[in-house]
Amino acid sequence: MPIKLDPENNEISALFGLAKLDGRHVLEVGCGDGRLTWRYADRGGHVVAIDPFEESIIQARNALPQNLKERVEFHHAAFSDFAASRPASTFDTVILSWSLC
Amino acid sequence: MVHALEEAHRLLTPDGFLVDIHPVPEAPNIEVRQGGKLLLSEPYPAQSVEDYRQADRAIESAIERRLFAAPGRNHFDFLTYASSASELRDFFKKTGAYDQTPKDQTVEARKAELFSRVDQLIKSTGAAAEVIFVERAQVAVLRPIA
């Protein structure tokens, strides 16, 4: 049996219980292989997802569903470097995905 | 951590919001279930939950400094399912490959002992069982104060 991560969707249910992402410009920090990204990206207007580990970003890009290719972009970057390269007030939502700790 | 919150604040539009997801500072649990029946439930010998406490403190600090308003919060259980302790251990090795934190050998020995007992229990049942890693986590939504 392959590893199953949160098949009950408890995480995304807890998130959607607090916030709507519909149509928003989202930055996800610490996206890993896109595990969480896929679960909300069809609601976001546009998603920029970053992770400091290149292998994870390669996996995420390879697994990117066709229907999300226009909406989601993955970048191999540390948050501090990425933030320094972007102007203020760029995103409607920033998600720190298990990355603050 | 505080710097990350400052950067997030700068990147957000005035009507935007920050979502933070991280585990609560308590030990996760390991369970073994077979057909819905709970065969084992024990705390996982986590090395430290100090990082999670620091994340909580960073958020509180950002609120005190009026970067963000007090958040709305939800808690949830993040469950990871495996068919054996070995499979779960291999998964942790892969996902933690980037973790540079020095390993506490006492904790590592307790993990190995627990994984061994779990695999023995699964073998003894003679039927399919699941190993479940239960991690309590929280979602906080914080709105920036201009």
ipTM comes to: 0.94
User: Cβ–Cβ of A4/B81 closer than 8 Å?
Assistant: yes
For chain A, 101 residues long, give each residue's pLDDT as a single digit of tens: 789 999 999 999 999 999 999 999 999 999 999 999 999 998 878 999 999 999 999 999 999 999 999 999 999 999 999 999 999 999 999 999 988 76
Q: For residue A33, give every residue at least 6 positions away whose Cβ sits within 8 Å of its Cβ, in sequence order, or none.
A: A56, A59, A60, A63
Residues B77-91 as b or e (16 or more Cβ within 10 Å = b): bbbbbbbbbebbbeb
Please say if the pLDDT value at position B97 is more than 70.
no
pLDDT at B125: 84
Of B4, B98, B141, the CB nearest to A19: B141
Stated length of chain B = 146
pLDDT of residue B128: 83
Q: Label residue B98 by pLDDT band (50, 70, 90).
A: low
Which residues face B23 on adjacent strands?
Answer: B137
Quote the mean pLDDT of chain B. 90
Query: What are the contacts of B116-124 at 24+ separation with CB within 8 A?
Result: B116/B85, B117/B40, B118/B30, B118/B32, B118/B40, B118/B84, B118/B85, B119/B84, B119/B85, B119/B86, B121/B32, B121/B39, B121/B40, B122/B32, B122/B84, B122/B85
Strand partners, B130: B33
Give the pLDDT mean for B8-21: 96
Say whether B22 and A88 touch across the interface (CB within 8 A). Answer: no
Give the pLDDT score at B100: 65
Residues B113-141 have a mean pLDDT of 92
Where residue B126 falls among pLDDT bands split at 50, 70, 90? confident
- Best probe of the A interface among B6, B9, B15, B18, by most A CBs < 10 A, is B18
Name every residue in A having a CB less than 8 A away from some CB of B. 1, 3-8, 10-11, 13-15, 17-19, 24, 27, 29, 36, 53, 79-80, 83, 86, 88-101
Nearest-Cα residue of chain B relative to residue A7: B79
The whole-number average pLDDT for the span B37-52 is 88
| A58 vs B98 pLDDT, higher one | A58
Question: Average of pLDDT values for B41-63?
Answer: 89
pTM of the model: 0.91
